[in-house]
């Protein structure tokens, strides 16, 4: 910790949960990526559009000869020290694209924390999706930090390049990432000390 701020050099997988052509998640991703990298972390983008992920047929561990895109997904999830899923809210829950992307892996997530970012064009910032996603990550073995970051009226909060327009999110984002850093450090220390039980 330096001046009250954590300064770790860890690898964070940022997972996009929308495949829409005009997805607002892209602007959120640009903003949160800059903030995470500003803390000294490296980031990887897990984008179901770029990776062209089909509807799940087999988990990675069940594939006999995985295509390169599945190998790449596995390697990113496995090498990450933590996860930042960025989810929209569709019908009071996460998108099918987010759930589909997550379900390709399982053990790769174990004993590494997640920090949930949700957004919507309405006033509630995707809170229902965030709560459901918390349950999913718990089952994946990647417990979510107690806080989540909801971005309401996302089209007014961030421009298309990820520039922050609603400045109140700067302080919220810093507190959120301070908490994430605490859990990243704690989980990393335990993995280094004891490994994992599986």
Residues 17 and 97 sit within 8 Å (Cβ to Cβ) = yes
Residues 149 and 173 sit within 8 Å (Cβ to Cβ) = yes
Of the candidate ranges 2-11, 46-55, 95-104, the one whose mean pLDDT is the lowest: 2-11
Number of domains in the chain: 1
* pLDDT single digits (tens) 104-139: 999 999 999 999 999 999 999 999 999 999 999 999
* pLDDT single digits (tens) 59-111: 999 999 999 999 999 999 999 999 999 999 999 999 999 999 999 999 999 99
* Res. 1 pLDDT band, cuts 50 70 90: very low
Task: Specify the residue for token string 């009226």.
Answer: 153
Phi, psi of 20 (to 5 degrees): -70, 150
Q: Does residue 5 lie in a domain region?
A: no
Q: Does residue 6 lie in a domain region?
A: no
Tokens of 89: 């809210």
Q: Residue 129's domain spans which residues?
A: 11-194
Tokens of 13: 């997988």
- CATH number assigned to the domain comprising residue 54: 3.40.50.360
Q: Does residue 49 lie in a domain region?
A: yes
Q: Does residue 15 lie in a domain region?
A: yes
Q: Does residue 1 lie in a domain region?
A: no
Q: Does residue 4 lie in a domain region?
A: no
Write the CB contacts of 124 (distance below 8 Å, at least 6 apart in sequence). Answer: 89, 150, 152
Spatial separation of the C-alpha atoms in residues 159 and 163, rounded to whole Å = 5
The sheet with strand 149-151 has its strands ordered as 42-46, 11-16, 82-87, 117-119, 149-151
* Helix ranges, the chain (H): 25-37, 48-51, 68-79, 96-102, 127-140, 154-157, 168-194
Helix axes 168-194, 25-37, angle to 10 degrees: 60
Q: Does residue 96 lie in a domain region?
A: yes
């Amino acid at each position: 910790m330096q001046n009250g701020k954590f300064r770790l050099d860890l690898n964070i997988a940022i997972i996009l949960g929308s495949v829409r052509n005009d997805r607002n998640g892209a602007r959120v991703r640009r903003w949160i990526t800059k903030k995470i990298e500003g803390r000294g972390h490296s980031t990887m983008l897990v984008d179901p559009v770029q990776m062209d992920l089909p509807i799940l047929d087999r988990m990675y561990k069940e594939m006999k000869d995985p295509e390169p895109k599945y190998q790449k997904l596995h390697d990113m999830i496995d090498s990450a020290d933590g996860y930042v899923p960025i989810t929209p809210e569709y019908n009071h829950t996460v998108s099918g694209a987010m759930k589909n992307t997550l379900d390709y892996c399982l053990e790769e997530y174990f004993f590494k924390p997640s920090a949930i970012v949700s957004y919507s064009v309405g006033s509630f910032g995707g809170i229902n999706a965030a709560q459901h996603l918390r349950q999913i990550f718990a089952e994946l073995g990647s417990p979510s930090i107690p806080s989540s970051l909801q971005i309401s009226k996302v089209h007014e909060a961030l421009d298309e390049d990820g520039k922050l327009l609603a400045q109140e999110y700067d302080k919220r984002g810093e507190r959120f990432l301070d908490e994430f850093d605490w859990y990243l450090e704690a989980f990393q220390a335990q993995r280094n000390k004891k490994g994992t039980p599986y």
